[in-house]
Chain A
Amino acid sequence: MAENIIELIDLTKKYGSFTAVDQLNLTIRKGEIFGLLGPNGAGKSTTILMMLGLTEPTSGMASVCGIDPTTKPIEVKRIVGYLPEDVGFYSNRSGYENLMFTAMLNGLSRWEAVTKIDQLLELVGLTEVAGKKTGKYSRGMLQRLGLADVLIKNPEVIILDEPTLGIDPTGVKEFIELIVTLSRAEGLTVIFSSHDLHHVQQVCDRVGLFVNGRLLAEGDIPTLSRKLFTKSQFVIEVGISKEVADSQHDSEESDSSGWLMDLLKEIEGIIDVEVKNGIFQIACSRDATSEIAKAMVEAGEKLIYLNKKEYGLDDIYYRYFEGGESHE
């Protein structure tokens, strides 16, 4: 598990005066699923191209399975499968023929390829349409054919650039599940770039956040949220019945949070209380949900809503991009 399969050291790519990727340091371990996250133009695709040797880095170096892709692109391409963003196939050939072409480019004999292709078509669920021209395939079918195309060379690493783009939600779910199953079953290292946060969150062991060619943060999602929201890790949302609140407190008071702060001050770890749209947001450094609920009920408040908010990738993402400038 600890074996590093991809190492990027001070990788930099400049287009004229524009820096697409800036001093990138990243290690990816064998067998993990790594998500590259970031807005468009953040340098995700450029990083992928450099890992494959499809473009030369301006400075720094990359190493994939111990091979430098800049000087030995062929060896790297032999073990790395790459599914480009918005993949295309020869539209006047059938899916089967397209796969056969890739198989033979990878040095498989026709006989080996036939078994392999049948296997993969079965896996991605395209066996019935294998004889159809790819020009008539839907977007999701093309993407699944793309996955088969990537897997035909028995790769150790697969790199997927925006694989979920333009597929409907159920299609995305199936596709993602397929990738995860494969990765777990065969110990494949999977890297995929996306700006679809939910899917990344579901799937990835670790993520890297890219903004303006820089890797702002990397790690698994709990680590990232701990890093970001150091003070208030937990937020508990509380709602109380309006009439009851009005009868107990003055009208000015019911909108402010002072009384609640007083009420909760005995509980350990409460940091702050804010009111947002009639819902109280209680920030605390530990999980104090049950104590808060108990205290409120004992105080005679009519509790109608209680929610423990967890920081997902959305919050992490927005927090970073809001504060994109302030983090520099």
Chain B
Amino acid sequence: MIFTIAILKEVKVMNNTDKKPAGFLMDRLTNTFSFFKSMTPKSEKDGMNNDVKVLHPFSVILNKEISDHVRSWRFVLLVLIIALTCFASLFTALSNIGKAVKPGDPEGAFFFLKLFTLTDGTLPPFMVFISFLGPLLGISLGFDAVNSEQNNRTLSRILAQPIYRDYVLNAKFLAALIVISVMFFALVFLVMGIGLIAIGIPPTVEEFFRILCFIILSILYVAFWLNLSVLFSVRFRQPATSALSGIAVWLFFTIFYGMIVNLAIKPYTPSAMSTDRYIYVFESFRLGLLRVMPNQLFTEATTTLLMPAVRSLGPLTMEQVYGTIPGPLPLSQSLLMVWPQVTGLIAATVLCFALSYVSFMRREIRSR
């Protein structure tokens, strides 16, 4: 990492000579890096204890944001809702797991993963719950990030302190992300632990890593919604407006978008007479449209990760399927398959962040 910083500094020097905006950006970058550098144990050597140590302003804001989240009723309620639904789905999975194992099942080796995917139809499985409640979590942690500061008139006071303006935005995002990560890791490991006690079969190494990937993916998914709502919180002055916009986008994608896509392409639905090629193109096109939705990306990615038997996410022709032996994919192949989905999610997240960053940095901060 030190190496990266060195390079960045080089670039900075080069940029300063010809163009100002690029140099400015590099300044920002090196600044963020210097924060990470200051987090390394160097400071412990200098200071005797915590009280004498001077914290980097960024970590001061970060600490404050995290403690704000953890202390808030909103977060407590969300954790309760999510924990309850998770344990409910764990319960249904556990009560049906005996019937789930059939001889000759290709997924027989992945018994433990069934804890997250199994259902008897009364309650959705764990992974569906996450895809449903994740957006809610993200939106509710971010929708008043910036505008509440402005409405409480604290923003201009904070920005009058010697800190870079983006520290505020970055800290808000990072704090929510850290809180979400801790929560997800705790929750999933708890579910694993209870499952372990209940069924008595430990997960294999591959299963463990699959679950780890699933957690990271879920965090990424929530991060997208978090960024979207932070973007709305920068754009809209009223927290209610920004919360409703976030929920509107979420509802649009979960309920209406799929309906609209199906309605729009209905006239082109292949009939029994259509050629294989036509059916293939049609199906690919339909999936392509659906993959605009972040929840579609998430569902596809989690399904592949938690059900090793899933071998393809797109349409397959008879020739492709012919002669294949049903069997689970190794983790590396599953990961390779969901890579486009993961990239898409990251891209959407970065896009939202960039938009809110630009509009926040150029904003004039009035006290009211």
Query: When A87-B153, A91-B152 are in contact, do A106 and B161 touch as well, CB less than 8 Å?
Result: yes
Contact at A109–B54, with CB atoms within 8 Å? Answer: yes
Chain B residues, CB < 8 A from A87: 153, 157, 367
Chain A residues, CB < 8 A from B55: 104, 109
Chain B residues, CB < 8 A from A54: 156, 159-160, 364-365
Comparing B45-53, B81-89, B196-204, B313-321, the segment that makes contact with chain A is B45-53
Comparing A78-86, A212-220, A227-235, A241-249, the segment that makes contact with chain B is A78-86
Contact at B51–A110, with CB atoms within 8 Å? Answer: yes
Q: Kindly supply a per-residue 1/0 record for chain A positions 273-291, scoring 1 wherever the CB is within 8 Å of any chain B CB and 0 otherwise.
A: 0000000000000000000
Q: Kindly supply a per-residue 1/0 record for chain A positions 102-118, scoring 1 wherever the CB is within 8 Å of any chain B CB and 0 otherwise.
A: 10111111110000000
Counting CB contacts under 8 A, is A77 at the interface?
yes
Query: When A87-B367, A88-B152 are in contact, do A108 and B54 touch as well, CB less than 8 Å?
Result: yes
Contact at B53–A89, with CB atoms within 8 Å? Answer: no
User: Most chain-B CB neighbours within 10 Å: which of A84, A85, A90?
Assistant: A84
Chain A residues, CB < 8 A from B68: 90, 92
Closest residue of B by beta carbon distance from A91 = B152
Contacting A49 at CB < 8 Å: which of B152, B163, B364? B364
Shortest distance between the CB of A110 and any CB in chain B (Å): 5
Contact at B60–A105, with CB atoms within 8 Å? Answer: yes
User: Most chain-A CB neighbours within 10 Å: which of B50, B153, B156?
Assistant: B156
Counting CB contacts under 8 A, is B368 at the interface?
yes
Contact at B51–A88, with CB atoms within 8 Å? Answer: no
- What is the bound-complex CA distance between A78 and B55, given in angstroms? 16
Contact at B160–A82, with CB atoms within 8 Å? Answer: yes
Counting CB contacts under 8 A, is B57 at the interface?
yes
Chain B residues, CB < 8 A from A74: 162-164
Chain B residues, CB < 8 A from A161: 367
Counting CB contacts under 8 A, is B61 at the interface?
yes
Counting CB contacts under 8 A, is A101 at the interface?
yes
Task: Specify the main secondary structure of chain B where it touches its partner.
Answer: loop
Closest residue of A by beta carbon distance from B362 = A56
- What is the bound-complex CA distance between A85 and B64, given in angstroms? 24
Chain B residues, CB < 8 A from A156: none
Chain A residues, CB < 8 A from B54: 107-109
Contact at A84–B152, with CB atoms within 8 Å? Answer: no
- What is the bound-complex CA distance between A75 and B365, given in angstroms? 18
Counting CB contacts under 8 A, is A55 at the interface?
yes
Q: What are some 17 contacts across the A-B interface (CB < 8 A)? A: A49-B365, A54-B159, A54-B364, A74-B162, A83-B157, A84-B160, A87-B153, A90-B152, A102-B157, A104-B55, A104-B60, A106-B161, A108-B54, A109-B54, A111-B51, A149-B157, A161-B367
Q: Which residues of B contact A (CB under 8 A)?
A: 47, 50-55, 57, 60-61, 64, 68, 71, 152-154, 156-164, 364-368
Q: Which residues of A contact B (CB under 8 A)?
A: 45, 49, 52, 54-55, 74-75, 77-78, 80-92, 101-102, 104-111, 146, 149, 153, 161
With A77-B162, A104-B57 known, 14 other A-B pairs at CB within 8 A are: A52-B160, A54-B156, A54-B159, A82-B157, A84-B157, A84-B367, A85-B368, A88-B157, A101-B60, A104-B55, A105-B57, A109-B47, A110-B52, A149-B157
